[in-house]
């Protein structure tokens, strides 16, 4: 597990995909995750505001985080490949 990496390769069960139907493209979703509620999640390259990263420290690697994501509440995000301009990179250089 490398919670400090950004480039979502794995999503654990802790994530409520049912409340985040806007998640776009997951490279990998662990079996423990209920993909029944989100069968279209195949390779996470983008996470929209629906996903609360503050409560999802298990995210292993985000390729891209939408501006709506509050990095300030997720200081463990240290290695974003691409962060939207609106995102607060002050805590995620």
- Specify the pTM: 0.16
Contact indicator for 57, 3 with CB cutoff of 8 Å: yes
Total of domains in the chain:
1
- What residues pair up with 25 in beta bridges, in sequence order? 44
Q: Are 79 and 62 in contact (CB under 8 A)?
A: no
* Domain span including residue 17: 1-93
Q: How far apart are CA 44 and CA 64, in angstroms?
A: 9
pLDDT digits (tens, 9 = 90+) for 4-49: 333 333 333 334 444 343 333 333 333 333 333 333 332 333 344 3
What is the tens place of the pLDDT at every residue in 39-90? 333 233 334 434 444 444 334 334 334 434 444 444 333 333 333 333 333 4
Q: What is the spatial distance between Cα 19 and Cα 37, in angstroms, rounded to a whole number? A: 9
């Amino acid at each position: 597990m490398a919670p400090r990496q950004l480039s979502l390769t794995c999503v654990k069960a802790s994530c409520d995909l049912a409340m985040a139907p806007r998640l776009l493209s997951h490279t990998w979703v662990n079996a423990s995750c209920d993909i029944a509620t989100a069968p279209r999640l195949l390779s996470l390259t983008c996470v929209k505001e629906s996903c609360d990263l503050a409560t999802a420290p298990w995210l292993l690697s985000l390729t891209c985080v939408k501006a709506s994501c509050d990095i300030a509440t997720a200081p463990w995000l240290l290695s974003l490949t691409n962060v939207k301009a609106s995102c607060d990179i002050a805590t995620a250089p």
